[in-house]
Chains A and B, each alone.
Chain A
């Protein structure tokens, strides 16, 4: 199958794009042996730093190094400004949607989104009904997954409003590039990103009405695939990393056990799913949460970031409505496009999907991490038939989208340098204002032709640059 992909570095005529010229010059000049040497160095440094990722569905539970590719993904600043505005607009609308959904439900009354679609959704939390949150913010930290189609236009693939991860790779990849190739950063202006932990801490502090709240990072523990990131962020922010057992609730307040006695906690940056937060209110088998946390939260004595119940807004079956949300709440046209989506819960959509399984990408509405999805063009006959049976058995659990021609970026592979498909996850912080650091995490599908970039599915990462545009006039 011959597809026309948009390549980030080279245009259709094979000419290097202006924002990659400096890098291309450098790449041509550096002796191959020196480059290979530095790439080996990168592997070693990542190993030493312990940046690993536990693979789910792997019987050994092996910790695996996320492959790091030394060819950066570069975005011209003018293009980034559009992406940035688009992400801010989207996250603003999503936060307004959540506040509306848990209060007046104007969007339902206006007939824009069906009541059953959201109120009977698994991500909808009755515990949030009528609860007032400081600044009306639900998703303080959001990760917006973007891809580019054949013509280079950006599409939002999904919004991650629960506990989006990956920002530590974004920061470590940059640190690594600066360490290995400082000359690249001297030769051109690449927007810095190392202030992210400061912005995150500021965001977490402003999520509380208190002046100087006590912030902690709550992790499920070291067996979680993102534990490295939890430890990394707490260290970078200079706040405590805690597990559920380190916290307790007394009289509707949350305390942390310390050697100097109990200390009240005001803001919890929790990297634990809703269902595990409080075994007395949610999953009773959860050993990871804090008994009584929900009562403390509903009493207003502690802030959870992100809030409980954001999952209803990033559910893949809610996704098709986001463009309408932007128009409804902000009275603006969406800056970033949505991928056309078939909702298998609708009989007409389902029959279209079943008739075109070989062409489409099918995803679980509740899934994440690239587990439980079908990429039609890359799937075997047996895989397609397996999905057909699943779709017929439980259509409401799936959506389908056309297979996008994800853009490519030159990447080191065994045979040299070859184009591989990539995506982009900018991290959007909502506090007093909505902010992003320039760029985000670029994930790359290392297998030739693969469109699945998730690290759990053999994806790697790249440093992401936002570079000043080269103006011909200058």
Chain B
């Protein structure tokens, strides 16, 4: 499946920003599952790409001239291998056993994980866990914020894809299974543009397997991966800081569609 992405983000500020800096993880890289056919970033100024600690492609955008808005555009086409269900990795998965502040497993999450997996530590156990979490935390836009932890979302029984992923990571790690956060894009048939997305991956039998709690999907055929990390903070597409500027208004527009084969072949 070929996905065509167009992702524009505009930040507007009440007053002038004196300086700002953003960590951008908006560029996918080739993997067993996905092949990047073309990809462009539109940034206010040229920025060199580097790899971040997790191997994600990172652009650090520093602006030290006063500005009132920032436009960031990412677009391109990526081929997804729909038959590929897992990804291998040469680096040890063990660092992904560690909890982070956002993925700390409180007694309730530990108990929930135990209840669904008992002594099992395989993929079917984690699929049961995924369904369990999907049922427990209802999807509700705006019900949580970026700093909401897994435990808080679990207790509140509401959240977005980020909370679903965090809760899954907390549970999997509490079972002794390394798990990591994935951010990227999702293609959906529906109209409600669920395009920027987050899901979880767990390390089972020497490979990373996907668990999309929000959509109860274990085959990542509609998922274009941008970045991975221990939690949202490591993998989120944009993380920035600024001096001045007052209140920020962020507007993001994402379009994900299946690219017509012919058109791509001509490029």
Residues of chain A at the chain B interface (Cβ within 8 Å): 105, 115-116, 119-120, 122, 124-129, 248-252, 279-281, 284, 291-292, 294-295, 298-299
Contact = CB atoms under 8 A, between A and B. Distances in A.
A308 to B, nearest CB: 10
Given A252-B48, A298-B50, A119 B21 contact: no
Contacts of B92: 105, 115, 119
30 contacts: A115-B94, A119-B95, A120-B94, A120-B95, A120-B97, A124-B95, A125-B53, A126-B53, A126-B230, A127-B53, A128-B53, A129-B91, A248-B21, A249-B21, A249-B62, A250-B62, A251-B47, A251-B48, A251-B60, A252-B48, A252-B50, A279-B241, A281-B53, A291-B21, A291-B240, A291-B241, A292-B62, A294-B53, A295-B23, A298-B52
B41 to A, nearest CB: 16
Interface of B: 19, 21, 23, 47-48, 50, 52-54, 58, 60, 62, 64, 91-92, 94-95, 97-98, 147, 230, 233, 239-241
A123 to B, nearest CB: 10
B62 A116 contact: no
Contacts of A284: 147, 233, 239
Nearest to A253: B62
A248 B97 CA distance: 33
A122 B97 CA distance: 10
B62 A251 contact: yes
Contacts of B97: 116, 120
The 7 closest A-B pairs by CB, nearest first: A119-B94, A127-B53, A120-B97, A291-B241, A126-B53, A295-B60, A250-B62
Nearest to A292: B21
A280 B239 contact: yes
Nearest to A284: B233
Nearest to B45: A251
A126 B229 CA distance: 10
Contacts of B60: 249, 251-252, 292, 295
A292 to B, nearest CB: 5
SS class, residues of chain B in contact with chain A: mixed
Contacts of A115: 92, 94
A281 B100 CA distance: 13
A248 B132 CA distance: 46
Nearest to A285: B147
SS class, residues of chain A in contact with chain B: loop
A284 B53 CA distance: 16
A195 to B, nearest CB: 38
Contacts of B91: 129
B240 A280 contact: yes
Contact of B21 (A120, A124, A127, A280): A280
A126 B62 contact: no
A295 B22 CA distance: 11
Nearest to A295: B60
Contacts of B94: 115-116, 119-120
A294 B241 CA distance: 14
Contacts of A281: 23, 53
Nearest to A251: B62
Nearest to A118: B94
Contacts of A291: 21, 240-241
B98 A122 contact: yes
B64 A250 contact: yes
Contacts of B240: 280, 291
Contacts of B147: 284
A279 B241 CA distance: 8
Given A129-B53, A129-B91, A281-B23, 17 more contacts: A115-B92, A116-B94, A119-B94, A120-B94, A120-B95, A126-B54, A126-B95, A126-B230, A251-B47, A251-B62, A284-B233, A284-B239, A292-B21, A292-B23, A294-B53, A295-B23, A298-B52
B111 to A, nearest CB: 15
Nearest to B92: A119
A291 B239 CA distance: 10
B222 to A, nearest CB: 28
B181 to A, nearest CB: 13
Nearest to B146: A284
A279 B243 CA distance: 14
A224 B92 CA distance: 36
Nearest to B98: A120
Contacts of A279: 241
A441 B202 CA distance: 48
Nearest to A127: B53
A397 to B, nearest CB: 12
A279 B239 CA distance: 9
Nearest to A128: B53
Contacts of A248: 19, 21, 64
A120 B64 CA distance: 38
Nearest to B147: A284
Contacts of B98: 120, 122
A166 B53 CA distance: 33
Nearest to A282: B233
A291 B20 CA distance: 9
Contacts of B21: 248-249, 280, 291-292
Nearest to B91: A129
B97 to A, nearest CB: 4
A295 B58 contact: yes
Nearest to B242: A291
A284 B238 CA distance: 13
Contacts of A280: 21, 23, 239-241
Given A116-B94, A280-B240, A299 B50 contact: yes
Contacts of A295: 23, 50, 52, 58, 60
Nearest to A250: B62
A131 B23 CA distance: 19
A299 B94 CA distance: 25
Contacts of B239: 280, 284
Contacts of A252: 48, 50, 60
A126 B230 CA distance: 10
Contacts of B233: 284
A261 to B, nearest CB: 12
Contacts of B64: 248, 250
A473 B102 CA distance: 69
A298 B48 contact: no
